[in-house]
Amino acid sequence: MTPLVEATSISRRFTRGLDYAERLARFLGADIEERVVHAVDGVSLTINPGEVVGLVGESGCGKSTLGRIMAGILPQSDGVMNWQGKDMSALPRAEAKAARLASQMIFQDPMSSLNPRKTIRDIIGEAPIAHGMVARRDAAEMVTALMQRVGLDPSYLNRYPHQFSGGQRQRIGIARALAVNPRFIICDESVSALDVSIQAQILNLFMELKQELGLTYLFISHDLGVVKHISDRVAIMYLGRIVESAPADAFFAAPNHPYTIALLSEVPTIKQRKRQFNPVKGEIPSPLHPPSGCHFHPRCPHAFDRCRIERPILREIAAGHVSACHLNEMPGKAASPAIPTTAIA
């Protein structure tokens, strides 16, 4: 099967250049460097048609940047993005446009991603009209159908975003993404801002749409509970790198990377009562100055000398299950959950 989207060794750097005063100071001998953030650092991720891939990480790990690159709205600094087996940068214009149109994003905060001065009719109908997918006079009919599809009352056609609740606004964002008949949807923390009862409604809508329209999702979230529920495969990012990736069942049954294990054991669930919180130590390091070797070594309970020097590569530890940890090369040493399989698994 040809993967729908395939990222190979993708990197993305953000550079803050020097201003005039800083350049002058450097000319005069001051020790000033351009500041470079490696938001995404040599990441490969394959997404097959019909698959739901959950991308999990804490703030600043680069998961949103990777999502934007995979959606084709942010160029990568290095690496190759393939769409249905073809290099996106080498596609003829018309095909590249079609590929971009087939990848749509749904954002976290619908209030900042919906234009407050446009009506729902315009927000949802604008893109299909612009791309010649529907005639302007037929747009209202199409928008009505989409609104019904995502569970909005079509009589609200001429309302503005502020007239809706948070959950309804997220439905508008979903209808807008669906309006151009995408195949690939990138959900960037799309349910994080919603109340739990509304979050469950939206998650169920995502799953229904996947069934009906044969969609493929990249589901970006910091919430392992949500990802566990929706994903076929899970990838964990830490400071710009994927540290573990596996089919969801294997992932939650036998997590391998010490960071993954820490994350899983710290997700609060109602099954753990009056527990002793025993958190992983230390802060998430700044992506401006990531630690050497394995990025997780300053917080890792198992770290040894090699972890400080050498970057571990992703190795296959079971079918389809890869993990970047030096412990896996030392028989009998691989990390395993301290508490017998965590409550969330």
Partner 1 sequence: MTLKVENLRTYFFTRAGVAKAVDGVSFEVGRGEILGLVGESGSGKSITGFSVLGLVDPPGRVAGGRILFHGEDLVGRSQGEMRTLRGKKIAMIFQDPMMTLNPVLSIETQMVETVRAHDRVSKAEARARAVEALGLVGIPSPDERLAAYPHQFSGGMRQRVAIAIALLHRPELIIADEPTTALDVTIQSQILAVIQGLSRDFGMSLIWISHDLGVVAGLAHRIAVMYAGRIVETGETDTVLDSPVHPYTIGLMRSVPANLERGEPLTPIPGMAPPPLGRSAGCPFRLRCFAATAACEIEPEEATADGHRWRCFHPQIARAA
Interface residues with partner 1 (CB under 8 A) are 58-59, 165, 167, 195-201, 203-204, 222-226, 228-230, 248-249, 252, 262-263, 266-281, 283-284, 299, 344
- Minimum gap (Å) between residue 93 Cβ and partner 1: 41
Instruction: Report in angstroms how near the CB of residue 329 gets to partner 1 at its nearest.
Output: 25
Q: Shortest gap between Cβ of 228 and partner 1 (angstroms)?
A: 6
Nearer to partner 1 among residue 76 and residue 231 (C-beta): 231
Going from the C-alpha of 218 to that of each of 304, 317, 319, the distances in angstroms are 34, 23, 21
Q: Which is nearer to partner 1, 75 or 225 (CB)?
A: 225
Rounded least distance, CB 196 to partner 1, Å: 5
Could you give the dihedral angle defined by the CA atoms of residues 40, 42, 48 and 51, in that order, rounded to the nearest 10 degrees? -40
Give me the residue label for tokens 């801002």: 193
Minimum distance from CB of 320 to partner 1 (Å)?
17
83 or 259: CB nearest partner 1: 259
Residue 345: CB minimum distance to partner 1, A:
8
Beta carbon nearer to partner 1, 59 or 112: 59
Structure tokens at 336: 């395993």
Closest CA to 275 of 342, 334, 186: 342
> 20 or 277: whose CB is closer to partner 1?
277
- Calpha distance 36→22 (Å, rounded): 15
Q: Give the integer Cα–Cα distance in Å for 167 and 124.
A: 16
Distance of CA 70 to the CA centre of its chain: 9
Beta strand 5-16 with 35-47: parallel, antiparallel or unpaired? antiparallel
Tokens found for residue 343: 């409550």
User: How near is the Cβ of 135 to partner 1 at its closest, in Å?
Assistant: 35
- Of residues 38 and 228, the one with the C-beta less far from partner 1: 228
Q: Least distance to partner 1 from the beta carbon of 33, Å?
A: 20
183 or 241: CB nearest partner 1: 241
Q: Which is nearer to partner 1, 83 or 164 (CB)?
A: 164
Kindly tell me which of 49 and 285 has the beta carbon lying closer to partner 1: 285
Q: How far is the CB of 241 from partner 1 (least distance, A)?
A: 17
Q: Give the integer Cα–Cα distance in Å for 177 and 103.
A: 9
Distances (CA, A) of 224 to 125, 144, 237, 280, 326: 34, 34, 12, 16, 24
